[in-house]
Amino acid sequence: MLEKGFTAWFTGLPCSGKTTVADGVAEELRDRGYRVERLDGDIVRKSLTRDLGFSKEDRDANIMRVTFVAKLLTRNGVAVLATFVSPYRERRAKSREEIGEFVEVYVRCPVEVCIDRDIKGMYKKALAGEVTGFTGVDDPYEEPADPELILDTDKETVEESVEKVLEKLKELGYIS
């Protein structure tokens, strides 16, 4: 059913809602008969990139590997929904260039809301100094300069965010 593959790249702070929204989009696309793959930061780091840490070099290597997988899936007509903090603009730009059919979705959410949503306690550990190099606390997040779509997950329901993504994919000609 999918005429050409694409990668929707969800980027934003930890706990901003990337995974929740992408899971909703995936479910909706599957219900419509599309072939969908989810690439998620937590899952990828348990398999494909388990040898990497969180230095800038390791974060870039993580995204390089994911980009390679997303490119292969995209070129084979799959709707790829990738959810990664991917904090650096330059690396996201390289992913866009390499994948080609790339839709950047900025999942924007104030860090205070992300902290409130954090069920794993990652922000708490970072704020206490138990974890260093944590994006949004002591490591930078570079907001996208010109994403195809911005979701304000502190102001929208999950359903509204999912609908906005589907509308953008339709507008861009990736889904009907």
CB 60 within 8 A of CB 91: yes
Q: Can 161 be counted among the known catalytic residues?
A: no
Number of alpha carbons in the 13 Å side-chain half-sphere of residue 2 = 24
In this structure, are residues 61 and 50 in contact, taking their beta carbons and an 8 Å threshold? no
* Phi, psi of 78, rounded to the nearest 5 degrees: -100, 145
Active-site residue among 86, 95, 161, 176?
86
Terminal-to-terminal C-alpha distance of the chain: 9
Q: Which residues pair with 39 in a beta bridge?
A: 82
Environment class of 20 (CB within 10 Å of its CB; exposed 0-12, middle 13-18, buried 19+): middle
CB atoms inside a 10 Å sphere around CB 23: 16
* Active-site amino acid positions: 86
